[in-house]
Amino acid sequence: MAASLALAGGVAPAQDPSPERSEPHAQPMPAEFQRQAERRIAEYAPRLGRLVGTEDARVNALVEKIYRQCVYGKLFEPMPPELPYRWFAPGGAYFTGQWIWDTMFVLIAFAPLDDDAVVREAFDNYRYTVENNPLAPEGSLRYGMVPNFMGARSLRKDGRAWPPVGYSQIPILGWGALAVYRQTNDRALIEQALPWLVAFDEWYSTERDVDGDGLIEYGAYEAVANNTLLQTARFETFDFHLPLDGMKMTPHPRRDTGGEWYGNVEGVEQTSFLLMSERALVEIATELGRDDLARRYQIMIARRVEAIQRKMWDPQTRFFYSLDRDSDRRIMVRTPQGFLPLTAGAATVEQGSELARQLQDPDRWWTRYPVPTIARDEPQYDPKGYWRGDMWPPTTYLVALGLARYGHHDLALELTLRMTELIEAEGISEHYDPETGEPLGVPGLGMSGVAWSMIVHNVYGVQEDYRTIRVPRGAAGRWLKLGKLNVRYPDDHSVEVRSGFDRSLRVVFSADSGEGEPRVTAGEASIPADTSGNEVSFTARRGETYRVEYSATRR
């Protein structure tokens, strides 16, 4: 479906965007790794039964499949020097190594299995790389880089396995670390991770914001496999993402040293992802008493949000777009990146409502299985195209997170139900045809396990902070066991909660519940709580069961 890319000036469409996928790391899994996977499945299956489950046998069957194929079946023994600690592979039989963004989705699902040591080791692989990676050449900021891929088949042209490849990836390590910590309360994880997470953020903020305006670009120091340096830079985000068709590699605009390592496109999605991690770093720093660091990041966050609002939002089409770095002109093509400022908390309430409205437009986004990777009314749309119209579970998951953040819970639930229907019918795969549901790409890819996280948030009401429980409509009879958090809904207007550690909880009842007063009890005793309308907040003590009721007077 060839057509020129519609631009409001700035980046010219590439003559050859190379839409055919060229995956540099796809190789069959050695027999030893297959044996390791089988051992992990046998080891963790009983643990899953004890720690994760629901009242619904159909959901439980799906959960068991997701964990076997996408989570503990992806855990492997150390592979030094690149991976000196236990690690997760996203694709199992197809990929041997640990990525950035894939692994965060896997670890969020792994967290309830109560194996904090494994989680810390997976993050320690990134710490080790930050401290030992000498690849970034002179003329760039070396310290803090985390490469896209860490593994024995990093495919350097000279054949050496170390150091890792010379490009990074979607920077959500901080966001992932916080999401795990909120489930496990493993303070050692965030204490060990904070210094190198800050280093990674500083590297990204320096090497991927070359004009200093707070918006993030793409880049690479070294080509991988048979790809050009330009395509390698594209691998830092959604591989063959349409807004990057016209990207060019340039020298650093403010340094005299170095090569043509820096792309001239500023990405909505990449900036949003960095914002997600920086918001997480504020929470982690606050948790550890580093108020100075938290304040520093709050200033950076405000600056990025202002830049997104001022430059990336188009008031005519009412959508967010990537930019030409040097002219600030918007690249006028709709992709799911335009919804990600919701996930990053960078949109206004009005923008959130407009984006929710556009998402439901069947001429653009509302396919049978949303969300396609470009809008249906774009001339390049191909439902089987790799990042050219296909649907990826992680991007749909992130859009659902953003919708929930802005109060569009029914829409987030609809995305969840369609994703669940798709995976039950077609199995777990890397990506799908959003029109027919046909599986595409690698079967059993780890990050496609986000379907379970969507169910947790939108069917069982446990929000992404694992501190907020939003009582779903029709919740009566449901219950969720998620590691150190148990949630049960005796009826539509009450919830019973038990936590494996002390945590602050907020329970939110639906806005149409009527007028009333929430109350919290433990046994026969009333518990002090802060109430505001249909919300109640209190501190849950480890091992205690609390009942939160909303005695409403019907309107």
Query: Is residue 553 scored above 70 in pLDDT?
Result: no
Average pLDDT estimate for 80-91: 87
Single residue among 435, 458, 481 that ends a domain in this structure: 458
pLDDT for residue 16: 41
Same domain membership, residue 154 and residue 48:
yes
Q: Could you give the CA distance from residue 129 to residue 123 in angstroms, rounded to a whole number?
A: 10
Q: What is the tens place of the pLDDT at every residue in 444-470?
A: 999 999 999 999 999 999 999 999 999
Rg (CA), the chain: 23
What's the half-sphere exposure (Cβ side, CA atoms, 13 Å) at 55?
13
Query: Is residue 12 scored above 70 in pLDDT?
Result: no
Of the candidate ranges 151-165, 299-313, 486-500, the one whose mean pLDDT is the lowest: 151-165
Cβ–Cβ < 8 Å for 390, 431: yes
pLDDT for residue 552: 57
pLDDT band at 160 (very low <50, low <70, confident <90, very high): low
Query: Is residue 214 scored above 50 in pLDDT?
Result: yes
Q: Could you give the CA distance from residue 14 to residue 249 in angstroms, rounded to a whole number?
A: 12
Same domain membership, residue 418 and residue 485:
no
Q: Would you say residue 25 lies in a domain?
A: no
Domain count, the chain: 2
pLDDT band at 543 (very low <50, low <70, confident <90, very high): very high
Query: Is residue 159 scored above 60 in pLDDT?
Result: no
Query: Is residue 56 scored above 90 in pLDDT?
Result: yes
pTM (two decimals) = 0.94
Of the candidate ranges 12-21, 130-139, 479-488, 497-506, the one whose mean pLDDT is the lowest: 12-21
389 Ramachandran zone, left/alpha/beta (phi>0; psi -120 to 50): left
Same domain membership, residue 526 and residue 430:
no
Average pLDDT estimate for 60-76: 95
Q: Would you say residue 413 lies in a domain?
A: yes
Query: Is residue 38 scored above 50 in pLDDT?
Result: yes
Which of 299, 296, 338, 342 is CA-nearest to residue 320?
338
Alpha-helix residue ranges (DSSP H) falling in 266-392: 268-287, 291-307, 340-343, 349-359
Query: Is residue 19 scored above 80 in pLDDT?
Result: no
Three-point CA angle 275, 399, 475, nearest 5°? 120
CATH number at residue 543: 2.60.40.1180
Single residue among 408, 440, 458 that ends a domain in this structure: 458
* DSSP-derived secondary structure letter, 83: B
pLDDT band at 275 (very low <50, low <70, confident <90, very high): very high
Q: What is the tens place of the pLDDT at every residue in 223-233?
A: 887 889 999 99
Strand partners, 526: 521
Q: Would you say residue 11 lies in a domain?
A: no
C-alpha pair distances (Å), 182 with each of 119, 301, 404, 483, 504: 13, 21, 18, 11, 11
Q: What is the mean pLDDT of the chain?
A: 90
Domain ranges, residue 541 = 468-553
